[in-house]
Structure 1
Amino acid sequence: MIDHVGLQVSGYERSREFYRKALAPLGAELVMEVTEEQTGDGAHAGFGVDGRPTFWIGTSQQAHANGIVHVAFTAASRAAVMAFHRAALEAGGKDNGAPGLRPHYHAHYYGAFVLDPDGHNIEAVCHAPA
């Protein structure tokens, strides 16, 4: 059900090093980083096991507008991502990223983002090829 979770941090490098060291005994490591240029707003670091980032930290100039907590739910298909986005908007959520490919994460990353009633950034993501 949960694909990954992300937190906003106030000091990117400091927090990246904290989590790199703190999560190492649990078998987690820094799997990938996404730059401000790639996201258009803030740098992000993904930590995980076996090369799959499931815990993210990041900075954002739009943290309050985009939600301080980010939760991504696993979707079985791209159609399910689109259905999630549509249902969330109909339920009162606000669009925060239409369904589509996000190739800066990987070639088949297909996600959609909404802000929930409290402003948290909620995503559905499918990792399968079309």
Structure 2
Amino acid sequence: MSTKLYDISNWCRQGSELKSYPYIGEIDIDLNIGKVVKVGESYFSIGVLSHVEKNAGAREIEIDFEPEDKDYENNLICPYCGYEDKDSWELSDDDEKHRCGRCGAIVSYERVVTVEYNASPVEPPGIVTANWI
């Protein structure tokens, strides 16, 4: 059982063939998507798998084991790995928990709705001309 890791930080820029991406190294386990793999002092998120070829596309990530809340962000951001979920708007209004799409951690969330205003010019103010004395 082993898996070759390829760096997919630039996924889709080099095509869909894993072997066209920079080779990271080979590890001694089989993998699943949604798991974080620790190799030495590095952590990798697995994003693409080929069980047949025993290859995996991975991104090196940092894991915060003492995370702080991520308050008032435009998108849901995982406090463990920092992944920003650009599809946060699709999250349920009823659920309070979400599994991170990169590291698999479970985070609780609260959707905060604010009201903002935009203004556009329609008519300028009346101007009165004066002179210096």
Taking structure 2 as the reference length, what is the TM-score of the superposition?
0.28
Higher RCO structure, 1 or 2 (CA under 8 Å, sep 6+) = 1
Structure with more of its chain in helix, by fraction? 1
Structure with more of its chain in strand, by fraction? 1
Taking structure 1 as the reference length, what is the TM-score of the superposition?
0.28
